[in-house]
Structure 1
Amino acid sequence: MPVADEFNCLNLNISVPKSPAALAASEALPVMVFIHGGAFTYSMNSSPIYDGRLLAAASSDLSSPTIVVTVNYRLGVYGFLAGHDIKAYNAAHGETGTGNYGVWDQILALRWIQRHIASFGGDPARVTLFGQSAGAVSVSAHLLRDEALFSSAILQSGLLRLCGVKSVDEYQGIYERMLVELGIPLDAAPADRIEGILAVDTERLTAAMVPVFIVPVITMALCDDGVLVEGSMPGYEMYHSFTPPDWCRRLMLGDCRNECIIWNKSWDSLSRTPMALGQDMSTPDATLVLNRMSELLKSPEKAQTIASLYGLTGSSSPAETFNALERLTSHGLYAQLIYFAQKAFPAMYAYHFDVPSVFENAWGGMAHHSYDNVLIWGVLRHLLPRAQQEISDQMVEAWVRFANGAEPWERHDKAGRWMVFTEEGAVLKTKEEDTGRGYEIWDELHSGGMVADLSELSNELCLRGSELRVGTSSN
């Protein structure tokens, strides 16, 4: 069984379809390269759910043999911690920038694939980069870089700022919190502080992240260091002008209905009776939530506008408050940003994933973040009811068709329709047909210039960045 090891993790798994059609192919095969999610802190390419052999075998069954590659990259503080001390340390060793090392690992893997995938029968000119969650954030970052390492892209549940983007100053504060937690004196010389943290063993350094990052689901952010993305990284409002580079004009982009349920434990600070709704779920108090929204937005008027749009009042029950928080944060960090990206560049394949989880856990019955992976990768297919097995087959075929240069479904600019995957089937829908999604809320926020406000509010409710900055030099 593979073990997690940040010092020996830079590997990739290559699954080549074994079939007469694939082996006898006269031309090189298209390649699908997957970047896993996990908030830049968790998971690995060897996680059983990402077994590329099943997807490669399915591509052969569809008479579209495709090579599937899953890549690893450094995670947590090893992959993303940044700051002025680290930047100076890098400069002393001939490197520029700070942080984002995990993304640079991905770049190394993509360059390797360009050079060597032909030896496995793959076509370096037909590489589809796809990622989910933090993996989609990574794909978004690669699209902003001017290096043509792939020709098409699939972004599942994520754009650039999903996990946050921090300045070097902000990351310096987090770095200093790490030093305090590890007992390294803040008044030591910068070089000595770096040497001190480098001397800490892996287990202790990783464990220090838990108290430092506050939130139960530790989430590492990208660093806006002016190097990974030349200049500065776009803010939330920039998705109104989302445009892919000329070398990658084939895109697929979509979301799940209940994305932000993954951060529900972050709302415990706004609750009075934790877990009353079921396992691992808090019951937020409406008054506390409304007050916190006003504080975070620095505007009672904006807080009231957003609360009204999501049906949240001071008399909302705990269950109603919880559901409103889940919906507004799912919209703020995922759905509305993806919607505006689709509007800005409609020549893409747009989708929504509404298939509810069949597993008996806290998120059962929800089309929650990452459940789309269950259907696309197929490892747990045998545990799904027949209807979901059929949706899984349709999604696999769509992803493979896209990687092979074919249309997975009608492109969004043809008639303004999204492919909506539900338990009953997959159907193309317009805004008018896809009722209850939230389009009218996003359009109203856009008209009032409050798209960024909802996203920033959602980021604070889930990742609690302002609390993370308290007592640091970045505050």
Structure 2
Amino acid sequence: MPRRNCSKTHPLFLPPMSTHPTVPCPPLATTFVGVHHPVSTPDCPIQQFRGIKYATVPARFRQSILNTTYPQVTDAKTHGPIAPQIKRNDLDDPLFGFVREEPFPVVQDEFECLNLVITRPGGIPADASLPVMFWIHGGSNVIGSGSHYLCDAGRLVRTSVEIEQPVIVVSINYRLGLFGFAASEALEESNRLLGDVGVGNYGLNDQLTALAWVRRHIASFGGNPSQITLFGESAGAINIHALLLSHTNATKPIANRAIIQSGVIRPPAVQSVSSQGSSLKRIMCRLGATSVDDLRKVSVDAVIAHTPSVMHATDDGVFFRPNWRSNPIPENIDALIIGDCAYESVLWTPSVLLWTSVSLIRRIRAVIRGVYKADSLLRTYGLSWNTDTEDAHRVTFNILNDAHFAWPTDCVARATKAKGGVDVYRYVFDQESPFTFTAHHAVDLLYLFDNISPKGPVRKIKCFDDSPASSSEEDEEEEDEIAGRENYFMISDFSYNAKRVTEGLQERWIGFANGRTPWREDKLCVFGPEGEVGERPLEEELAERRRVAQWREALERVEPEVVYRLALELGNGPGHKAR
């Protein structure tokens, strides 16, 4: 799609001013003062309003309350505090293959973290009524933020202006870890006495509260509260699925459209209050807390130190709509984009590399009690007692990829399409990262937000696909000798491919938010490898790019709860079992 000089072709846009941009918001009796985004150009001014507090937290483990009190002038020039989480400067390195520092000071605050960022085209009138894209970040519900540099929306909004389909992007922070998802019967009773309804799901309710704030006030920023597209990745995508299964959405639709990237909710992961309480009780013992009151007094750092690596929603009888488990289909939206990346399972690389074929077969047979079903899975995925260690690792990656991501995504997409009422558009993202040369989990974020350039040293990671791998010392020495030259040419080639994929991804996501058809429903949109972008026959291409035949032969014959447990245990490694 051609890019145009927006200031000359669209009447809404004016050149940026030297002063800070302001947005009067009469319903809140305040004026928000923001900043001109660094990606702004004279032809495409982009404004950002940061750290806007959308809700208050009355106390630890309490439901958030919509914020309605603001000063006469609200300073929105700096990012607000993020949710308490593990402090790791090298967080991106294991997955993305690079280390970056945030370009601004990061503050964590348990009670001041519920804030959002609004990124919009500059110079638009209050009645512009632009479509709104509502971003929910990922991070296993234990890490991440809406202000993280990787997912800054400046370039995405600028692209929307350049292609004459302008949008406003809202990015939010929500509570994470135990602060956002702890649940037990004792905590439920404590909250009931304090006037709260439900337990756990504080982070999910934060997201609903942020959506309520946006529907009430985004019009002041030139947005259309009746044209909201949710989009999120990994835990953010799972959370979007949960929001669409919520009682709130069943009562009154929370959005018009949704984009689910690499993650859907799996009913076995959503436990009862009593089951969650058993897990919380073990954590409380390690913290020396004997009551809910004690737990509320434990230091933030101590709570973070004992937070599990992944947090899930709780089936508390309040948050989700009735009978959602038997019908986990997104409802009350007009259209859905849904897909995954080729190598999502690199998330579990350290644990996967500990498996041998013998230990793997024994664990699979222990989890899948039926001999026929277990042997069917082993045969279908190509695992036997004679499988060497490297092939055993490849098989483990494949099972994890299918059980955690590809198969559940396929199930939700097919069920939603079969029920009708929602347009379903499927995609696969197979474009390699310029840093790891693998289409790993979350690699699509590098292209969607376009905030990272492939500069400086790069490294390869082992990619366990189905292609033969040479292991001779002679080949390894030759690869070492040409590594510098090889990387040079790959980065050079990558620049053109990256541009194709970035433009193709951004234009389709933006067009979808504008109410357009991103591609035909009977087609599969492909992004990569090697810069390929386009529509392909859905069933044929999906079978070619994903292990559809394998999961239909093996996984669909096993109970979903067992598949989920198997994925947990394989991801934990041979030394641990799922509780």
Question: TM tier, shorter chain?
Answer: 0.7 to 0.9
Cα gap change, 1:453 to 1:182, in 2 (>3 Å): closer
Q: 1:33 aligns with which of 112, 134, 145?
A: 134
Instruction: Sort the Cα spacing of 1:8 and 1:232 in 2 relative to 1 into closer, same or farther, 3 A.
Output: farther
Aligned equivalent of 1:438, options 528, 547, 550: 547
> Counterpart of 1:131 in 2: which secondary structure?
strand
Distance 1:457 1:446, change over 3 A: closer
- Number of the residue aligned with 1:421: 527
| Aligned counterpart in structure 2 of residue 310 of structure 1, from 362, 381, 384 | 381
Residues 1:228 and 2:319 are matched in the alignment: yes
Q: CA deviation at 1:444?
A: 2.5
State the SS of the aligned residue for 1:196: helix
Number of the residue aligned with 2:569: 460
How far apart in 1 are the matches of 2:555 and 2:162?
45
What amino acid maps onto 2:379 in structure 1? S
Asked if residue 135 in structure 1 is aligned to residue 243 in structure 2, the reply is no
Q: Answer 1 or 2: which has greater helix percent.
A: 1
Does residue 351 (structure 1) correspond to residue 447 (structure 2)? The answer is no
Give the secondary-structure state (helix, strand or coil) at the position aligned to 2:540: coil
- Equivalent residues of 2:121, 2:168 under 8 A apart: yes
- Asked whether the 8 Å contact 1:297–1:303 carries over to 2, the reply is yes
Q: 1:103 aligns with which of 204, 213, 238?
A: 204
For residue 352 of structure 1, what is the amino acid of its counterpart?
A: V
Other-structure match for 2:440: 368
Q: What residue is the counterpart of 1:5 in the other structure? A: 109
2:509 to 388, 399, 411: 399
What is the distance in 2 between the residues matched to 1:381 and 1:409?
28
Shift of 1:167: 1.6
Shift, 1:449, TM fit: 5.3
Q: Does 1:94 align with 2:195?
A: yes
Partner-residue secondary structure (3-state), 1:428: strand
Distance 1:336 1:445 in 2: 11
Provide, for residues 334-390 of structure 1, a one-character-per-residue CA deviation record: whole Å limited to 9, x for no partner.
11111122222333110001112221xxxx232111010111011014656221122
Q: Distance in 1 between matches of 2:414 and 2:173?
A: 32
Query: Structure 1 residues 100 and 26, CA, compared in 2 at 3 Å: closer, same or farther?
Result: closer
Match of 1:197 among 287, 295, 314: 295
> Normalization by structure 1: what TM-score?
0.84
1:176 paired residue among 281, 303, 306:
281
8 Å CA contact 1:306, 1:454 repeated in 2:
no
2: CA distance, partners of 1:163 / 1:122:
38
Question: Secondary structure at the residue paired with 2:525?
Answer: strand
> Could you say if the C-alpha distance between residues 67 and 46 of structure 1 is closer, same or farther in structure 2, counting changes exceeding 3 Å?
same
Name the amino acid aligned to 1:244. Answer: P
* Greater RCO, 1 or 2 (C-alpha within 8 Å, sep 6+): 1
The 3 A distance-change label for structure 1 pair 80 and 242 is closer
Contact 1:118 1:124 in 2 (8 A): yes
> How far apart, in 1, do the equivalents of 2:158 and 2:333 lie?
26
Q: Does 1:377 align with 2:449?
A: yes
Partner in structure 2 of residue 150 of structure 1: 255
Distance 1:468 1:200, change over 3 A: farther
1:341 to 412, 423, 426: 412
Tell me how far 1:231 sits from its aligned partner: 3.4
Q: Bigger CA drift: 336-345 or 152-161?
A: 336-345
2:236 is the counterpart of 1:160 = no
2:497/2:531 contact within 8 Å kept: yes
1:288, 1:29 → 2: CA distance?
A: 55
Identity of aligned residues (%): 31
User: Larger deviation: 255-264 or 31-40?
Assistant: 255-264
1:67 — aligned with what?
168
After superposition, the Cα gap between the structure-2 partners of 1:162 and 1:355, relative to the gap in structure 1 and judged at 3 Å, is farther
Q: Any idea what the Cα deviations from partners look like across 1:148-204, whole Å, max 9, x if unmatched?
A: 12111000011112892122122111111111111234xxxxxxx111111111011
1:461, distance to aligned residue in structure 2 (A): 2.5
Contact 1:134 1:163 in 2 (8 A): no
CA contact (8 A) 1:42 1:75 kept: yes
Aligned partners of 1:283 and 1:318 also within 8 Å: no
Report the Cα distance in structure 2 between the residues aligned to 1:298 and 1:466, rounded to whole angstroms.
18
How far apart are residue 5 of structure 1 and its match? 2.3
CA distance in 2, matches of 1:242, 1:163: 12
Q: Give the letter aligned to residue 200 of structure 1.
A: V
Which residue of 1 is the match for residue 340 of structure 2?
A: 255
Partner of 1:278: none
Inter-partner Cα distance in structure 2 for 1:351 and 1:129: 17
1:134–1:162 contact (8 Å) kept in structure 2: no
Match runs of 1:50-65 below 5 Å: 50-65=151-166
Residue equivalent to 1:472:
none
383-392 vs 195-204, which deviates more?
Answer: 383-392
Structure 2: gaps of 5 or more residues: 1-104, 418-422, 456-493
Asked whether 1:300 is paired with 2:386, we answer: no
Contact 1:329 1:455 in 2 (8 A): no
Q: How far, CA to CA, are the matches of 1:51 and 1:285 in structure 2?
A: 41
Range with greater deviation from structure 2 (74-83 or 255-264): 255-264
Alignment length, in residue pairs?
Answer: 424
Distance in 1 of aligned mates of 2:197 and 2:127: 44
Give the AA of the match of 1:258. Answer: Y
Q: Could you say what secondary structure the match of 2:121 adopts?
A: coil
Q: Does 1:81 align with 2:182?
A: yes
1:436 Cα shift? Answer: 4.6
In structure 2, do the counterparts of structure 1 residues 303 and 126 end up closer, same or farther at CA, with 3 Å as the change threshold? same
Q: Which amino acid aligns with 2:288?
A: G
- Paired AA for residue 177 in structure 1: R
Give 1:466 deviation, angstroms.
Answer: 8.8
CA distances 1:6-32 after superposition (whole Å, capped 9, x unpaired): 22110000001126xxx2696410000
Secondary structure of the 1:229 match is: coil
Q: Which runs of 5+ in 1 are unaligned?
A: 186-192, 268-281, 470-475
| Gap change, CA 1:258 and 1:459, over 3 Å in 2 | same
Instruction: Give the corresponding residue for 2:122.
Output: 18
Structure showing greater Rg? 2
Bigger Cα displacement from structure 2, 103-112 vs 442-451 = 442-451
Give the whole-Å Cα distance in 2 for the aligned partners of 1:137 and 1:84.
Answer: 24
Q: TM-score, normalised by structure 2?
A: 0.69
> What is aligned with 1:189?
none
Partners of 2:194 and 2:577 lie apart in 1 by 33
- Using the TM superposition, name which of 45-54 and 122-131 deviates more: 45-54
CA distance in 2, matches of 1:15, 1:89: 39
Q: Which amino acid aligns with 1:429?
A: R
Inter-CA distance 350–46: structure 2 relative to 1 (3 Å threshold): same
State the shift of 1:459 in Å: 3.2
- Give the residue type in structure 2 aligned to 1:444: E
Distance 1:38-1:264 versus aligned 2 partners, 3 A rule: same
Q: Is the 8 A contact 1:29 1:121 kept in 2?
A: yes
Tell me what 2:483 maps to.
Answer: none
